[in-house]
Amino acid sequence: MINRIFAAMIALSVIFGTLSGNMDQVCDAALNSCVEAVDLFLYLLGGMCMWGGLMRIAEKAGITDALSELFKPLLKHIFKGLDLNGGAFRAICMNITANLLGLGNAATPLGLEAMRRLELEERPGNTTSRNMIMFVVLNTASITLIPTTAASLRIRHGSAAPMEILPCVLITSACALAAGLSSAAALDSISKRRKRK
């Protein structure tokens, strides 16, 4: 689907560029965007490597186990029936920590690992379990305490105060998380009632 959307956008750009006589600008924009995309990738890669490495050191040093203990009282209500001493729970805690630090790119491999471990531990078959759904919601609409990626981009584009977005980020991420978890819990409850009937 996404390939069709991109193909349609490219086709429309070429058509309107040709009809308006701005084909040179379309070509320049295409070439410059490619260079800027690679430049941005390299700029963000350093931060991703650093924070990813720090998360691995935290895991080896036992910091993630300490964080697991810290998160247990709250997460045991969200992930019902999940082994709080298992690998899935530890992977979830690492993912949450990465998201709290605003490391969405570093959180992605941790999220994939958490989902893989959830599948192994819960064995839901061809369907997703309740805990898998809750984790996807928690990962997607997570609270961000330090928006490092957004701040890096703001610095890159000349912002004098890159962290001034912090209050807005906290409020919107907290609202998104509350709405997401509430919706998932409500839909899970409706699904259970229908199965009982």
What number of other Cβ atoms are within 10 A of residue 180's Cβ?
A: 18
Start-to-end CA span in the chain (Å): 37
74 is a domain residue: yes
Q: Give yes or no for a contact between 180 and 137, defined as CB atoms under 8 angstroms apart.
A: yes
pLDDT for 125: 66
25 is a domain residue: no
DSSP structure class, residue 41: H
Which tokens is 20 given? 């308006």
4 is a domain residue: no
What number of other Cβ atoms are within 10 A of residue 90's Cβ?
A: 21
Count of CA atoms in the C-beta half-sphere (13 A) of 71: 21
What is the average per-residue pLDDT within 103-116? 79
191 is a domain residue: yes
Tens-place pLDDT, residues 55-102: 778 778 877 677 777 878 888 888 888 888 888 888 888 888 877 776
What's the structural domain count of the chain? 1
Tens-place pLDDT, residues 16-31: 888 888 878 878 877 7
Tens-place pLDDT, residues 133-183: 889 888 888 887 777 777 777 887 888 888 888 888 888 888 988 898 888
From the number of C-beta atoms within 10 Å of its C-beta (0-12, 13-18, 19+), residue 105 rates as middle
Q: What angle do CA 32, 38, 41 make, to 5 degrees?
A: 135
DSSP structure class, residue 127: S
58 is a domain residue: yes
What is the span of the domain harbouring residue 127?
47-196
30 is a domain residue: no
Cα–Cα distance for residue pair 11/45, rounded to 1 Å:
31
How distant, in Å, are the alpha carbons of 3, 35, 183 from that of 133?
26, 38, 11
Cα–Cα distance for residue pair 167/155, rounded to 1 Å:
18
17 is a domain residue: no
3-class SS at 197? coil
Cα–Cα distance for residue pair 131/84, rounded to 1 Å:
12
What number of other Cβ atoms are within 10 A of residue 118's Cβ?
A: 25
126 is a domain residue: yes
Question: E strand or H helix at 21, and its extent?
Answer: none
